[in-house]
Amino acid sequence: MMNPYLISGPALISFSGGRTSAYMLWNILQAHDGELPDDIVVAFANTGKEREETLRFVHECGARWGVRIHWVEWRRGRDGYESVSFNSASRDGEPFEHLIAMKQRLPNGMPGQRWCTEYLKVRPIFALMRDQLALEPGDYEEIIGIRADEWDRRIEGLARAAKDGRSVSHPLCTAGIRKPDVLRFWLGDNVDPQEIRHPLPQGFDLGLRGYEGNCDYCFNKGKAIIKRQIRERPGSEAWWAMQEIGIGGTFHARYSIPQLVDQVAATPELFDEPAEDLEYDAECGLICPSEAA
């Protein structure tokens, strides 16, 4: 069987900043003897609401593995994006906030309302490809880190790409890689990434639990995760609450962030989330985590 990680350019590797796409990037690098050809571009789009751990992880992958990862952020205007770095990346939600101000509404999980991925992730990365290789979507292969156990997302992504005339491939699916494989690669014998008791196989890790990745209070995460984060990191919800108050809307159809803050304040010790609700680990990149929902 051909090595699924051996990729022909021109290609775009979408790096979400999570363990799965980092695992994919590492394998692609191995298949290419540690060095990618010039016509294979690796890109990470920062929304401004990524956790600091995510930014550090992306930076470490690039530095430790000797691979150029292009950091981009959405900007309103002709170019549609700006190149940034670990040091200059937005950390207070600026790209997301400017997008909300432009739209004068909030994204949410309803069909047709999940436009933040399109603006904050997809468009800046495509604009980067235009600048780097003078190519349009469809002229190159999009390499996306969807695992074999994310079958629904794969089907949805393929259908969407076919409709848009884009070409996508999912090497982790071809290789049969599932979530436990990725966790073993990064965590080894450790169970909780925030309680490291054994050596980390790669010498570093994201350091976040699955439900903490990408935009911290993403509307796809569900009530249990939002409440847990309010309990674990009081004040971290402030940016999201401010957006709701400023626009006069909510990210979630059935509740607002301030309402959940009140609920947590009423039961500060009560962890009432079913364990399976915390299993969320979808990575947001060229495909929205809720595309399969």
Query: Contact residues for ligand SF4 (CB under 6 A)?
Result: 47, 107, 114, 116-117, 120-121, 214-215, 218, 220, 284, 288-289
Contact indicator for 282, 141 with CB cutoff of 8 Å: no
Q: Which is nearer to ligand SF4, 12 or 215 (CB)?
A: 215
Shortest CB 115 distance to ligand SF4, Å: 8
Shortest CB 253 distance to ligand SF4, Å: 15
Q: Which is nearer to ligand SF4, 16 or 27 (CB)?
A: 16
Shortest CB 45 distance to ligand SF4, Å: 9
Q: Which is nearer to ligand SF4, 65 or 115 (CB)?
A: 115
Q: Which is nearer to ligand SF4, 5 or 217 (CB)?
A: 217
Q: Which is nearer to ligand SF4, 109 or 137 (CB)?
A: 109
Q: Which is nearer to ligand SF4, 113 or 174 (CB)?
A: 113
Map the chain to HEC letters: CCCCCCCCCCEEEECCCCHHHHHHHHHHHHHCCCCCCCCEEEEEECCCCCCHHHHHHHHHHHHHHCCCEEEEEECCCCCCEEEECCCCCCCCCHHHHHHHHHHCCCCCCCCCCCHHHHHHHHHHHHHHHHHHHCCCCCCCEEECCCCCCCHHHHHHHHHHHHHHCCEEECHHHHCCCCHHHHHHHHHCCCCCCCCCCCCCCCCCCCCCCHHHCCCCCCHHHCHHHHHHHHHHCCCCCHHHHHHHHHHCCCCCCCCCHHHHHHHHHHCCCCCCCCHHHHHCCCCCCCCCCCCCC
Shortest CB 107 distance to ligand SF4, Å: 6
Q: Which is nearer to ligand SF4, 105 or 184 (CB)?
A: 105
Q: How many CB atoms lie within 10 A of CB 179?
A: 16
Contact indicator for 17, 54 with CB cutoff of 8 Å: yes
Shortest CB 85 distance to ligand SF4, Å: 20
Shortest CB 268 distance to ligand SF4, Å: 26
Shortest CB 265 distance to ligand SF4, Å: 24
